[in-house]
Amino acid sequence: MSLAFLGACETAKGHKATPDEAMHLAATLLFAGFRGIVATMWAMNDLDGPKIADSFYEHLFKNCDPNSTPPVLPDLKQAAKALHIAVNKLREEPDILFRRWVPFVHYGL
């Protein structure tokens, strides 16, 4: 297992009843063996999830060629950079408020 993209609200949010524990869905997937997780710390705008995902995967797969010999697969170590690029692209849109781009986080490698 290598990378999980959790395009839903609060997938990296803890619980107020256990403030000293860092357990949330993203952390659980890290403990389960995923090497990288993209998640959100709180609610996200429904329009932003697909935009972030499209930009994220566009960057991650830009140099791939699965039909070559040997196949050129995505470098999953570039996931944090791909998320950074996707969030910056969202930030460049007119009238994007802080709360729209800030919930997206990357855990792992």
> Model confidence over 44-90: pLDDT tens digits?
999 999 999 999 999 999 989 989 999 998 999 999 999 999 999 99
Residues 6+ away with beta carbon under 8 Å from 51: 86, 89, 90
Structurally, the chain folds into a number of domains equal to 1
C-alpha distances (whole Å) from 97 to each of 3, 37, 45 are: 28, 24, 11
Predicted model pTM: 0.89
Residue 23's pLDDT band (cuts 50, 70, 90):
confident
pLDDT confidence of residue 1: 59
Residue numbers of the domain that contains 25: 3-108
In the 8-state DSSP scheme, what is residue 19? T
Average pLDDT over the chain, rounded to an integer: 92
* Helix residue spans in 17-72 (DSSP H): 25-32, 48-60
